[in-house]
Amino acid sequence: MNDPTQIHANVVVAGVGGQGVVLAGNIIADVCMYYGLDVKKAEVHGMSQRGGAVSSQVRFGVEVHGGLIEKGQLNWIVGFEWAEALRWMPLLSPEGSVFVSTEEIIPPSALKDRVSGMVRYPLELLDHPRVRAFDAPALAKQAGNVKAAGVVLLGALSIDLPFSLDVWNQALTRWVPTKALEINLRAFELGRRWEEKAPVTKPQPVPKPITRQVWLNLEESWCKGCGICVNVCPERIWTLNQKNVVEALSPERCTGCGLCEKLCPDFAIDVLTESTIRVNEEGGSVLWQPN
């Protein structure tokens, strides 16, 4: 793990549109390439112009085949946004770790539910032993611009990786606009020292979420694996498995917004709420059902 030319690992950068997720992925990939590693990068950008979820999966090693990270194979999650990071938890390897900003950004499509109090912002994993949460925007502000929060997190990640600071700085120089370079280099540096410096804000305990009764039903044999639901779901619930059929990763997050059902061209997904559940009495397999 310590030889930068022999390392084999998977990183996910997760956030929402406008945070620079894709850029961060590019920087990581650039650094890996410097060491002659094979890099595969897969991006998912949903309604990113509208603050929708964006992620960048970076796989690197001496030789990498598939572009997508499988369950238990994810070594690092870099969460620019807390909820976005959480979506990737099911993929995290037992030794993997999470660098995450405690910043909350609510995707507009889920806004209705969150604002009404039907669904609360999920903070339950804050105490997870592998989660290292800190207020990245505050550090970025300290560096000169709150927008450099992502680079703060990259800095934190860099501590875990065997790549030299020089190479990181080179990559930053290549990708970040000259105007903002100085601030970004400073933010990166602050990120590297986050453990000593970062003012970790422990969020207030929240009242027990009012869960809504939502069931997700999948007609597997009708799914053609187009990936539309994967990308439209504001909660990032769906993922494509090896059979190129979708699978619910974290159905408990479903807000019942119905986007996936309405945009699935193949009638494969049913989002069942209490009002519609009776219709489906004999229906197929219920994937998930809250408490």
Partner 1 sequence: MNPGKALLRQDMMPHILCPGCGHGIVMSALVRVLAKRYASLDQVALVAGIGCSSRVVGYIDANTLHTTHGRALSFATGLKLARPELTVIVVTGDGDGLGIGGNHLIHAARRNVDLTCILFNNETYGMTGGQLAPTTVTQAFTTTTPYGNHESAFDATALVTAAGATFVARAQAYRPDLLEGLIEQALDHRGFSFLDVLTDCTEYFSRKNQLGAGSDLLFSQTRSDTEISLDLTEWPRLQEPDGFPVRNLMPMGVLHESNRPTLEEVMELPGYRPKEG
Closer CB to partner 1, 38 or 43, in the complex: 43
CB 81 within 8 A of CB 149: no
The entry of partner 1, ligand SF4, none that residue 50 binds, CB within 5 to 8 Å by partner kind: partner 1
CB 191 within 8 A of CB 137: no
Q: Is 18 exposed, middle or buried (0-12, 13-18, 19+ CB in 10 A)?
A: middle
Binding mask 146-185 for partner 1 (x = CB under 8 A): ----------------------------------------
Helices (H), the chain: 21-34, 82-86, 108-115, 136-143, 149-160, 165-175, 178-192, 194-197, 228-232, 259-263
Provide the terminal-to-terminal Cα distance of the chain, rounded to the nearest Å.
41
Helices (H), 11-59: 21-34
Q: Of 13, 29, 47, 105, which lies in the binding site for partner 1, with binding defined by CB under 8 A?
A: 47
Q: How far is the CB of 226 from ligand SF4 (least distance, A)?
A: 4
Establish if 280 lies at the interface with partner 1 (CB under 8 A). Answer: yes
Residue 131 DSSP SS3: strand
Closer CB to partner 1, 203 or 222, in the complex: 222
- Which one of 63-71, 185-193, 196-204, 259-267 is the stretch in contact with partner 1 (CB under 8 A)? 259-267
Closer CB to ligand SF4, 31 or 237, in the complex: 237
The entry of ligand SF4, partner 1, none that residue 256 binds, CB within 5 to 8 Å by partner kind: ligand SF4
Binding mask 209-228 for partner 1 (x = CB under 8 A): --------x---xx-xxxxx
Establish if 49 lies at the interface with partner 1 (CB under 8 A). Answer: yes
Q: How far apart are CA 69 and CA 80, in angstroms?
A: 19
DSSP secondary structure code for residue 280 in this structure: G
Closer CB to partner 1, 14 or 264, in the complex: 264
How many residues of this chain interact with partner 1, rule: CB under 8 A?
35
CB 98 within 8 A of CB 132: yes
Q: How far apart are CA 222 and CA 130, in angstroms?
A: 38
Binding site for ligand SF4 (CB under 6 A): 216, 223-229, 233-235, 237, 246, 254-260, 264, 266, 268-269, 271
Closer CB to ligand SF4, 123 or 264, in the complex: 264
Q: How far is the CB of 55 from partner 1 (least distance, A)?
A: 12
